[in-house]
Structure 1
Amino acid sequence: MSLLRAKIQDVFNEPGCEKNRGKDAKARKVGCSRPLTPGAAAGGCAFDGAKIVLQPITDVAHLVHGPLACEGNSWDNRGAASSGPTLWRTSFTTDLTELDVVMGQGERKLFKGIREIKDAYGPPAIFVYPTCVTALIGDDIEAVCQRAAEKFGLAVVPVNAPGFAGSKNLGNKLAGEALLDHVIGTAEPDDPGPYDINILGEFNLSGEFWLVKPLLDRLGIRVRACIPGDARYFDIACAHRARAAMVVCSTALINLARKMDERWGIPFFEGSFYGITDTSDALRNIAELLVKQGADPEILGRTEVLIAEEEAIAWKKLAAYRPRLAGKRVLLNTGGVKSWSVVHALMEIGIEIVGTSVKKSTVEDKERIKQILKDDNHIFEQMAARELYAMLSEHKADILLSGGRTQFVALKAKTPWLDINQERQHPYAGYDGMVELVRQIDLAIQNPIWCQVREPAPWDCQPAVGEELPRTKSENVTLHAVQEFSGTTAADFGEC
């Protein structure tokens, strides 16, 4: 437990962000986001956050050491995609019962579970996640994992992030610490090169990274490790040989990026692949970092050529949507990097942002939003469901972009809604992703169902005596079709 407390305190003291480096020593100790309070698990616990970061490592077995409910609550909690292995989709748990806790059988059951996974699946590694119950009863996860690794000849990684340790964001960072302590640097690649990079905080939701990777391939840039989206254990173990890194979601893995810079000299920057301008800036920054690390400067010219080609194609596709969406009002109820990157992306095509949430955003994210919107009145920390409903029902926004938790608020307010959080079904990263995002917004807003559901119900329109009941637009269309159809016979349709 003392090791966990020390690790949590180290994570709180995060000097990795650029803004934080300019603060005095006392303010710098707070880190780049406000400190997390242990025990405050609103929005997910530390265990849940650790599983979010590590589960997309696709060829690894993820074993939850605790009651069955913990594994059932966290399994497949994000829409990450894999291009190969499917072992990560298999749920493993020691399924501790009250009797196991009372009789002190937790460590023995964990060791047995590791052996069964090794014999049945033979993965390159097994990640073990203690939960609140096993951490409180004092199971020595590190000792069991070390013993199992020695006996079975494979990597067994303890991920010390029980739920009571704090919030989901803290669990994200503790997962990064587990990779630093037990995975990264444990293997050497056969072919390190001057164009190898790491992408940190990219989860490959709905296959988004597959829209970005071809751009890097065309530039001759190899992604040594994408952590965690569509990752392989060996690639992460060799991630220390990359020459540069990009951090996509700084709230989750900024500590991992900073410590890899300190240990292995891998410089990093924070960027986004949402929106045309941000995607282009990210490609430029990657190329510039590689040149600083010794790569041939000619990559800068090739990058500009690629950007010019892709931007021209994207803007040509978006031209068809601009007149349809210009002036449309969007309300974003999300957080993190999306709170500013999606805002910037939508404003590029003339969409008005009436508000964006910053509940899970860092100080840097909030500063970017202020620079983009030029108005603090459009920024809110959080919005209660009642306030959100009032805003939508008064038609202050034409569409709500959010996660699944607030979709029913929008539907109750008879307002179009689009999922942009981890459960989304469409990829929105890169140039093609931006076009897809705009297309989905257009489809949602222009859907004719909204005109119908906003019409008053027939029973709310009581006619006077002898007056015909008014018809809705959809009923008029149906009546017109019936009138045109009347008078036809079976012969008009030929034989059945």
Structure 2
Amino acid sequence: MATTTPSLNQTIQDVFNEPGCGKNQAKSEKERKKGCTKQLQPGGAAGGCAFDGAKIALQPITDVAHLVHGPIACEGNSWDNRGAKSSGARTYRTGFTTDMDENSIVFGGEKKLYKSIREIVEKYDPPAIFVYQTCVPAMIGDDIDAVCKAASEKFGTPCIPIQSPGFVGPKNLGNKLAGEALLRHVIGTQEPEYTTPYDINIIGEYNLAGELWQVKPLLDELGIRILSCISGDAKYKEVAWSHRAKAAMMVCSKAMINVARKMEERYDIPFFEGSFYGIEDMSDSLREIARLLVERGADAELIDRTEAVITREEARAWAAIEPYRQRLSGKKVLLITGGVKSWSVVAALQEAGMEIVGTSVKKSTREDKEKIKKIMGDDAHMYDDLTPREMYRMLRKAEADIMLSGGRSQFIALKASMPWLDINQERHAAYAGYHGMVELVQEIDRSLSNPVWQEVRRPAPWAGEEASWQDRAIGESADMPREPTAPAKAA
């Protein structure tokens, strides 16, 4: 463990000055110091705070005890909000919290934190304990770094402080603060039993609904070993020895670009940004993994074997998709997501013959937006902030046949009596890899062809010739003053 720990402010400034972020580097020095966003106020960051971002980034490490130092609601609201799967350990499914109350706030919560760590060690004996700082203990001055250091020495179990109080910023900042904690306290602290020229890291992949398992069999067939996935279906020791990989793939740059760049800087691990969504993007990712490994000493035959696997899997995927393409061709999709999905899912949907009438880019980087333009053309309909009213209008007026989004937007589609499919982190279906692309097409076709939509759109027998309540709502909203939908800003 590091002997000197930078302050939280120093860590945040370091993250804000990330050289790997193109958007950040396009700013002036003055703008860069301000950071990427206005800091949130304590108590006003529910559902999108730095703590939440740190927790969802690290909780997929399955054998670790994740201890939230704060009021019980912090753990209650953040537990299991990302459906990451595990092939082994289940410790990550247990919620641990110090449950700070009024006495803890008045007298401090450090003793309670220490006792909680001791209890976890005695009852569960995990390989490590991740301790998350939240707003309340941060404001009263609890020193979780000191407590973690003392507990680690006393119990012989690594206790990793995650400095991520919610009010310092949004989820995306929390992702990076989690990455900084791994870099400072975990990565490089253990050595693997052996290494091979075919060892890779996958960074920013969380095994949502088991998506990593749709990709791993192909890598296994090629002889490529996932030395560490940060953090989907990962074990603590795998993250600790991830510095011995030969190459890395970064799946979500918005979350952990700092981890990928600093591992390249410190351990000479080259990385690229790729996607497992869509047939073409999946193939490109396999090719790039093979190319990087060959450059680092793997057998050149890996390139030919990779091409053979790609040819076989693409043929299977296209054959499976073909029956659906006729029904889906020309269907219009409204995509409300962000980050890497804003371009990777666009490519996947276009492969199925569908038309994207709009995609949100609120959480997307400049590179994400450029990729959307490359895929959809310069007239791509990108929105920084598509209002619920505008989503409803587009669906109700049939400007889109289906909406793909997270769970918070589903009620807009249901109100408009239009199909909706969950594409966000809470979903229970896996869409990665070649098989995942087929699954995505099948799910979209199933949603569009469901006869329930014809029934819910049919006027009630007693309605007569009057306009439906949906049409009345459209008319009322048209008469109301409203702000224009914000187009995507040039980064």
TM normalised by structure 2 equals: 0.91
> What is the RMSD of the two structures over their aligned residues, measured on CA atoms?
1.9
Partner residue in 2 for 1:81: 85
Partner residue in 1 for 2:37: 36
Q: In 1, distance between residues paired with 2:159 and 2:465?
A: 71
Task: Name the SS for the 2:68 alignment partner.
Answer: strand
Q: In 2, distance between residues paired with 1:169 and 1:20?
A: 14
Query: Equivalent of 1:135, from 130, 133, 138?
Result: 138
Partner residue in 1 for 2:107: 103
Query: Equivalent of 2:58, from 30, 34, 54?
Result: 54
1:301 aligns with 2:282: no
Partner residue in 1 for 2:189: 186
Instruction: Describe the shift of the 1:24–1:436 C-alpha distance in structure 2 as closer, same or farther (beyond 3 A).
Output: closer
* 1:260-314 deviation line (CA, Å, top 9, x unaligned): 0000000000000000000000000000011111111110000000000000000
CA offset at residue 375 of structure 1?
3.6
Partner residue in 2 for 1:11: 15
Instruction: Describe the shift of the 1:24–1:46 C-alpha distance in structure 2 as closer, same or farther (beyond 3 A).
Output: closer
Partner residue in 1 for 2:274: 271
Does the 8 Å contact 1:414/1:450 carry over to 2? Answer: yes
Instruction: Describe the shift of the 1:79–1:28 C-alpha distance in structure 2 as closer, same or farther (beyond 3 A).
Output: farther
* 1:23-53 deviation line (CA, Å, top 9, x unaligned): 679479849x981222274851000000000
Does the 8 Å contact 2:23/2:366 carry over to 1? Answer: no
CA offset at residue 436 of structure 1?
0.1
Query: Equivalent of 1:319, from 317, 322, 333?
Result: 322
Q: In 2, distance between residues paired with 1:190 and 1:385?
A: 53
Task: Name the SS for the 2:338 alignment partner.
Answer: coil
Map 1:164-313 onto structure 2 (within 5 A): 164-313=167-316
Does the 8 Å contact 1:13/1:29 carry over to 2? Answer: no
Aligned-pair identity (%): 64
Does the 8 Å contact 2:372/2:380 carry over to 1? Answer: no
Counterpart amino acid of 1:254? I
- Mark the runs of 5 or more structure 2 residues left unpaired by the alignment: 467-491
Task: Name the SS for the 2:421 alignment partner.
Answer: strand
Q: In 1, distance between residues paired with 2:30 and 2:445?
A: 44
Instruction: Describe the shift of the 1:137–1:76 C-alpha distance in structure 2 as closer, same or farther (beyond 3 A).
Output: same
1:159 aligns with 2:169: no
- Mark the runs of 5 or more structure 1 residues left unpaired by the alignment: 464-496
Task: Name the SS for the 1:320 alignment partner.
Answer: helix
Instruction: Describe the shift of the 1:29–1:84 C-alpha distance in structure 2 as closer, same or farther (beyond 3 A).
Output: farther
Q: In 1, distance between residues paired with 2:464 and 2:194?
A: 74
1:120 aligns with 2:120: no
Query: Equivalent of 1:372, from 372, 375, 400?
Result: 375
Q: In 1, distance between residues paired with 2:360 and 2:27?
A: 30
Task: Name the SS for the 2:404 alignment partner.
Answer: strand
Larger radius of gyration: 1
Task: Name the SS for the 1:321 alignment partner.
Answer: helix
Q: In 2, distance between residues paired with 1:69 and 1:55?
A: 17
Partner residue in 2 for 1:144: 147
Q: In 2, distance between residues paired with 1:261 and 1:123?
A: 29
Instruction: Describe the shift of the 1:42–1:297 C-alpha distance in structure 2 as closer, same or farther (beyond 3 A).
Output: farther
Task: Name the SS for the 1:331 alignment partner.
Answer: strand
Instruction: Describe the shift of the 1:221–1:424 C-alpha distance in structure 2 as closer, same or farther (beyond 3 A).
Output: same
Query: Equivalent of 2:408, from 405, 410, 417?
Result: 405
Query: Equivalent of 2:49, from 45, 55, 58?
Result: 45
Does the 8 Å contact 2:191/2:241 carry over to 1? Answer: yes
1:447 aligns with 2:477: no
Q: In 2, distance between residues paired with 1:253 and 1:24?
A: 19
Q: In 2, distance between residues paired with 1:360 and 1:241?
A: 32
CA offset at residue 373 of structure 1?
1.1
Instruction: Describe the shift of the 1:20–1:401 C-alpha distance in structure 2 as closer, same or farther (beyond 3 A).
Output: closer
Q: In 2, distance between residues paired with 1:156 and 1:349?
A: 47
Counterpart amino acid of 1:379? M
Of 258-267 and 288-297, the range deviating more from structure 2: 288-297
Query: Equivalent of 1:461, from 450, 461, 464?
Result: 464
Partner residue in 2 for 1:342: 345
Counterpart amino acid of 1:367? E
Partner residue in 1 for 2:486: none
Q: In 1, distance between residues paired with 2:7 and 2:335?
A: 39
Instruction: Describe the shift of the 1:337–1:350 C-alpha distance in structure 2 as closer, same or farther (beyond 3 A).
Output: same
Counterpart amino acid of 2:252? C
Counterpart amino acid of 1:455? R
Does the 8 Å contact 1:59/1:86 carry over to 2? Answer: yes
CA offset at residue 110 of structure 1?
0.5
Does the 8 Å contact 1:399/1:416 carry over to 2? Answer: yes
Partner residue in 1 for 2:363: 360
Q: In 2, distance between residues paired with 1:147 and 1:436?
A: 49
Partner residue in 2 for 1:386: 389
Task: Name the SS for the 1:354 alignment partner.
Answer: strand
* 1:104-131 deviation line (CA, Å, top 9, x unaligned): 3x11111000000000000000000111
Q: In 2, distance between residues paired with 1:462 and 1:320?
A: 40
